[in-house]
Chain A
Amino acid sequence: DVKVTQSSRYLVKRTGEKVFLECVQDMDHENMFWYRQDPGLGLRLIYFSYDVKMKEKGDIPEGYSVSREKKERFSLILESASTNQTSMYLCASSSPPADLDEQFFGPGTRLTVL
């Protein structure tokens, strides 16, 4: 079974802190994604990566950065957390072929920024 794990289920941080959200997948997938989910807005793509050291902006990248030093790990970084980044963050991974690659999701991290 594909397994995507995220470092924390719940996280509370203060405004201005640097926050790291870690995601690890064990199926050797090339593609990895970070989404946030907010009520009434659905899952929105923040960043994604096709390969190690490669990254592309999604629909809402402002205030975030990412790092992919190893194929299995994709980190989301909030350089200076703000209250509007309070949300549920989900990581996903997938493998080509691009037209049929279902995404496998982690359990999510609920981040609260005070």
Chain B
Amino acid sequence: ILNVEQSPQSLHVQEGDSTNFTCSFPSSNFYALHWYRWETAKSPEALFVMTLNGDEKKKGRISATLNTKEGYSYLYIKGSQPEDSATYLCAPRGGGNKLTFGTGTQLKVEL
């Protein structure tokens, strides 16, 4: 079982603030890194799948970077909106089809 750490555990920001979270994972035997967003009362939904060191992906105001050599990924949200309130999960994949999920960063965006 991979040791996956996400920080911070929770975060409160004001509407319009930019924010970022960290996902740390073992750099050995790395295959891919997934980011998911999980809104309350909904299903987790995939944001990004990243595989290459230095990868940077973007979807609207949300972007992510990947450093496989040191074992971390950052997720950035620019100009946070209340609809961004959710728990953000990262999940690295080692060999095989199994993902190991972190405990998530719970984001609350206040008006």
A contacts, CB < 8 Å to B = 4, 31, 35, 40-45, 48, 50, 58-59, 90, 94, 98-108
Contact = CB atoms under 8 A, between A and B. Distances in A.
Contacts of A58: 98
Contacts of A45: 98-100
Interface of B: 1, 4, 31-32, 34, 42-46, 49, 51, 89, 91, 93, 96-104
Contacts of B4: 42
Contacts of B49: 99-102
B97 A40 contact: no
Contact of A42 (B43, B45, B93, B102): B102
A69 B25 CA distance: 36
Nearest to A96: B97
Nearest to A94: B97
Given A59-B1, A107-B43, A101 B97 contact: yes
Contacts of B102: 42
A107 B102 CA distance: 19
Contact of B101 (A40, A42, A104, A108): A42
Contacts of A44: 101
23 contacts: A35-B101, A42-B4, A42-B101, A42-B103, A42-B104, A43-B91, A44-B101, A45-B98, A45-B100, A48-B97, A48-B98, A58-B98, A59-B1, A90-B43, A98-B96, A98-B97, A99-B31, A99-B51, A100-B51, A101-B97, A102-B34, A104-B43, A107-B42
